[in-house]
Structure 1
Amino acid sequence: MVTPETLDPAPAEVPLRRNRNFQLLWSGSGLALLGREITDLVYPLVVLAVTGSPAWAGAFGATQMAVSLLAGLPAGKLADTHDQRLLLIIMETVRAIATTSVLVAVLHDAITLPHLLAVAAIVGAVQPLGGSARMLLVRAVVPPRQLTAALTQEEVRSHAAALGGPSLGGLLYATATVLPFLATAVSFVVSLVCALFVRPPARARKPTVDGDRRMLAGLAQLWKVPILRHSTMFAAVLNAVSAPLVLVVIVVLTRDGASPGTVGLTMAGLAVGGLAGTVLVRPLHDRLTPGALMLWLGGTAVLLIAALSLPFGAWWLAIALFLLGLGGPSMRVLMDILIFRQVPDEQRGRTVTAFMTVLGVGSSAGMLASGLLVEHLSAQAAILTLATVLAIALGVSISDRRIRSVQWPTETENRS
């Protein structure tokens, strides 16, 4: 039985702008995310410059993603059973050292492919560890009634970094190869310093009935709670369909003879839409139930993805991507809220990383399938195929009464 003494101490309810711990986490992670976006663009360029091989350039990202997926479930267990602030500090320290090693290699003209692939593996391994720890820290320092607002600010940070990072990375790389790595290393160090000054409330563990500390407990939680099970499956399909859209749209534009500048501006529509969509999170969450919101976002996504197949040029693709991006923040915050409010505290880390792992598997499968589709079909046919897959998943979800009728859980539902 859970008693009041075993519950997490509630953080003081002050405006988020005056919540010192949240602002440290938000600012530090914002800079770190900007740095990561910078090097996500630059690393493939450096690999291409070193090897001259597009395949090896793609191998960098594939290595990082594969290691992140493998590390996801163990990372969740560590986040549940160890000091989350310490884990965040470890992640930022490792990322700063790894990036600095590349910076030093570039300065000495000693950069090699094995070194870069090792960095990809190291960064991929610590990413889910620090990411899940930071999410749980946000939950610990933000009062329950402010959780939606805090997660919305997280979305603002993510989309702002996604919008500004690639262009800044290209500018720095064009100026000097070392500059993007210097900027990224500094961003990780600043995030590390911010983490050092975070003072979360003392964690008071709630006793569990079965003492379940298995690494796969997060997946079990996602499967056990019906709304989490169905929404996770739907989100995985949505991610599998959405992740390869960038590749497919680039193929469409390239085949139409668009310039690199036009391609960049068109793809920016998705990031701008995501940033603009953060202002819709609170209104949509206030007016719609979780099931209705998920189905509405899925329905609009089907229509907008299908609209990408229409041959109206880059401006049309940019508008469709912008509109598609508008729903992203609401869907991600919806899933975060459901996890945080329905999963016991001692299993939230594993559940968050299990959810991200499922999405990662969906993204990987979607990228692989879309590559095969584009190779054997026209880009327009590939887009319509992706839209059809999502429409089928949407139809299955609409037919499920439990999804249609689910209500927002209260903060206390996971504490009984």
Structure 2
Amino acid sequence: MPGSTVLRNRDFLLLWSGNAISHVGLQGARIAYPLLTLLLTDSPIAASVVAFAIAAPGLVFEIPAGVAADLWDRRQTLVLCQRMGLAATVLAALVIFMRPPGLALFLAVAAFTEGTAYVFFNTAELVLIRDVTTEAERPAAFAFLEAEQPIANMMGRTLGAALLGIARGLPFLANAASYLYCLWTLSRIRSRAQTPPEPAPAKTAGIWDWDQIRVGMRHLGTDSFGRNAAITLGASNAIIQVLILVITLSIKQSGQPTWIVGVVLGATGVGGLLSAVPAARLGNRLNPQTVLTAALWAWTLLAVPIAITSNPLVLGVCWMGVGFVGTMVNVPLTLYRVRIYPEELIGRIFGASKLISHGGTAAGALCSGVLVSILGPHSAGWLLVVAMALLARRARRLAPPRSAEPPSPAPVAVAPTAPSTGTWITRVSRQGSRAGDSTART
């Protein structure tokens, strides 16, 4: 079985375990950055600026990171990113202990550096998995990769908030330990020969080649549904970022301990894990526009209790539902993009979509402090309910998804090799393999 085979692949296990532990540490620090800023400055605006700083690299580096994954040595890229993240989290720990003037600014710089390292690391890891696994191992390998984020959300947020309740620098020290573990695992990888890149200009020029950005954005722009779905999800991400601050302040103002915030926000990871299997099984059968509309209405209903109550149990259940719905909507949309867009451009188009998505996340993080400071958490929550309902109405009126082009002979020839694993993970892994093969032939 492919699943048991990949568990005997030493290089993959080193790569996955190191990155999974690093993700847990980063999510712990990610929740600690704005929470700690709020505790030390008592300013929701300062907390939102720091939260924006860790999300902002997705606006700047998402597409360059995809180009870097093709042009640079991937394992060395991962090592460099882990060292950057380690330096940033050590800086944050020193700032907490020393309490210098402009504390929030130092934390914002550290958060931005960690966010940058994460963007490049996340993309390089995706491609390196292809290098260290065989074609038979890739479906299970990509399934493990999909599980990383929910695990990190669930464990990292809970652990980060709990450690913050014990000592304010502990989340960053734990994050530093996770970086060191990941660096050790990367040093032990005997990665197979990387597919030689196509002739390209200098690395820096290639990464910042605006033609690469324009190609992805232009092709995304030709698909009315794909473009509008990306914009709609970006707007919903902005709303969800404000909801995170609403939940944090509601719990804090009710006198609950800090670790409760981490448990509640970590519940989204539980929801993501619970929906992974049904999302993979149903993804091919669901109309992406129908799923998108249903998801936005579900988020609207889940936002209502968040606006009403500060009860941690109710907030945790609602936030778990937000994570469940998020995975259910992402899989059909990913499948749609894989079917519709040209295979040789899929990375850049994904980069363009993620750029819009991260734009919404960053904008929500930046504006959340001002909005909650002016309206208060509960009034802001009701405003978010209305905004999400308007997005749901808009999604129902989008242009319908395009029909997939007839399959080419090559995919048909490959399909019979694994008839019982026709999930989206299998399809993506096979496409990754075909893309690698075509690169090797050029």
TM bucket normalised to smaller:
0.7 to 0.9
1:56 aligns with 2:46: yes
Cα deviation per residue 1:36-73 (whole Å; 9 max; x = unaligned)? Answer: 12222333455467656554344322223234422333
> Does the CA contact (< 8 Å) of 1:42 and 1:169 recur in 2?
yes
Partner Cα separation in structure 1 for residue 394 and residue 139 of structure 2: 27
The aligned counterpart of 1:199 is 191
Pairing 1:156–2:153 present:
no
* 1:385 counterpart = 2:386: yes
> Aligned residues: percent identity?
26
1:331–1:123 CA distance, 2 compared to 1 (3 A): same
Q: Which residue of 1 aligns with 2:356?
A: 358
Report the CA distance shift for 1:144/1:73 in structure 2 as closer, same or farther (over 3 A): same
| Alpha-carbon separation, structure 2, partners of 1:384 and 1:241 | 9
**Which residue number corresponds to residue 66 of structure 1?**
56
The separation in 1 between residues aligned to 2:107 and 2:240, in whole angstroms, is: 28
Aligned to 2:86: 96
Q: Residue 276 of structure 1: CA displacement?
A: 2.0
* Equivalent AA in structure 2 for residue 402 of structure 1: P
**Are the equivalent residues in 1 in contact too, given 2:271–2:323 (CA < 8 A)?**
yes
Query: Aligned residue for 1:80?
Result: 70
User: For the residues of structure 1 that align with 2:183 and 2:325, how far apart are their CA atoms?
Assistant: 32
Q: Give the aligned length.
A: 398
On the 8 A contact 1:88/1:133 being kept in 2, the answer is yes
3-state secondary structure, aligned to 2:129: helix
Is 1:127 aligned to 2:118, yes or no?
Answer: yes
3-state SS, counterpart of residue 402 of structure 1:
coil
Paired residues of 1:68 and 1:127 also in contact (CA < 8 A):
no
Is the contact made by 1:132 and 1:352 (CA closer than 8 Å) also made in structure 2? no
Match of 2:221 in 1: 223
Return the alpha-carbon distance in structure 1 between the equivalents of residues 328 and 99 of structure 2.
45
Counterpart of 1:6? none
Cα separation, partners in 2 of 1:299 and 1:123, compared to 1, 3 Å: same
Confirm whether residue 402 of structure 1 aligns to residue 401 of structure 2.
yes
Query: What is the deviation of 1:246?
Result: 2.1
Q: Is the 8 A contact 1:132 1:353 kept in 2?
A: no
CA distance in 1, matches of 2:266, 2:10: 32
CA contact (8 A) 2:160 2:262 kept: no
Letter in 2 for 1:62: F
* C-alpha distance in structure 2 between counterparts of 1:89 and 1:33, whole Å: 14
Q: C-alpha separation between the residues in 2 aligned to 1:295 and 1:145?
A: 36
Partner letter of residue 295 of structure 2? L
Please say if residues 232 and 395 of structure 2, whose CA atoms lie closer than 8 Å, have aligned partners that are also in contact.
Answer: yes
Structure 2 CA distance for aligned equivalents of residues 246 and 98 of structure 1: 24
TM, length-normalised to structure 2: 0.73
Q: Pick closer, same or farther for the CA change 1:100–1:264 going to 2, 3 Å.
A: closer
Distance 1:61 1:294 in 2: 26
CA separation of 1:13 and 1:161: change in aligned 2, threshold 3 A: closer
**1:372 positional shift:** 6.4
Question: CA 1:96 to 1:372, structure 2 compared with 1: closer, same or farther past 3 Å?
Answer: closer
CA deviation string 1:342-373 (max 9, x = no partner): 66676555444332221111123445666666
CA distance in 1, matches of 2:138, 2:340: 14
Deviation at 1:402, TM superposition (A): 2.7
Say if 2:178 is the partner of 1:187. yes
Q: C-alpha separation between the residues in 2 aligned to 1:45 and 1:90?
A: 28
Instruction: Please say if residues 373 and 382 of structure 1, whose CA atoms lie closer than 8 Å, have aligned partners that are also in contact.
Output: no
> Contact between 1:38 and 1:169, CA under 8 Å: does it hold in 2?
yes
State the alpha-carbon separation in 1 of the partners of residues 42 and 369 from structure 2.
Answer: 21
Instruction: Check the 8 A contact 2:286/2:332 in 1, yes or no.
Output: no
1:312 Cα deviation from its structure 2 partner? 10
SS in 2 for 1:401: coil
Specify whether residues 380 and 144 from structure 1 end up closer, same or farther in structure 2 by C-alpha distance, changes over 3 A only. same
Offset of residue 238 of structure 1: 3.2
The 3-state SS of whatever aligns with 2:195 is coil
Distance 1:314 1:55, change over 3 A: closer
Distance 1:26 1:117, change over 3 A: same
Give, in whole Å, the separation in 1 of the partners of 2:190 and 2:338: 21
SS of match in other structure, 1:330: helix
Rounded Cα–Cα distance in structure 1 between residues aligned with 2:365 and 2:96: 31
What is the distance in 1 between the residues matched to 2:16 and 2:138? 13
* Alpha-carbon spacing, 1:252–1:166, altered in 2? closer, same or farther (3 Å): closer
Name the structure 2 match of 1:259.
256
- TM-score, reference length from structure 1: 0.76
In the other structure, the counterpart of 2:415 is none
State the secondary structure of the residue aligned to 2:212.
Answer: coil
CA distance in 2, matches of 1:282, 1:30: 21
Q: Which amino acid aligns with 1:172?
A: L
Cα 1:201/1:97, change in 2 over 3 Å: same
Gaps of 5+ in 1: 1-11
Distance 2:158 2:119 in 1: 25
1-structure distance, mates of 2:249, 2:36: 22
CA distance in 2, matches of 1:228, 1:34: 31
Question: Which secondary structure state, in structure 1, belongs to the residue aligned with residue 191 of structure 2?
Answer: coil
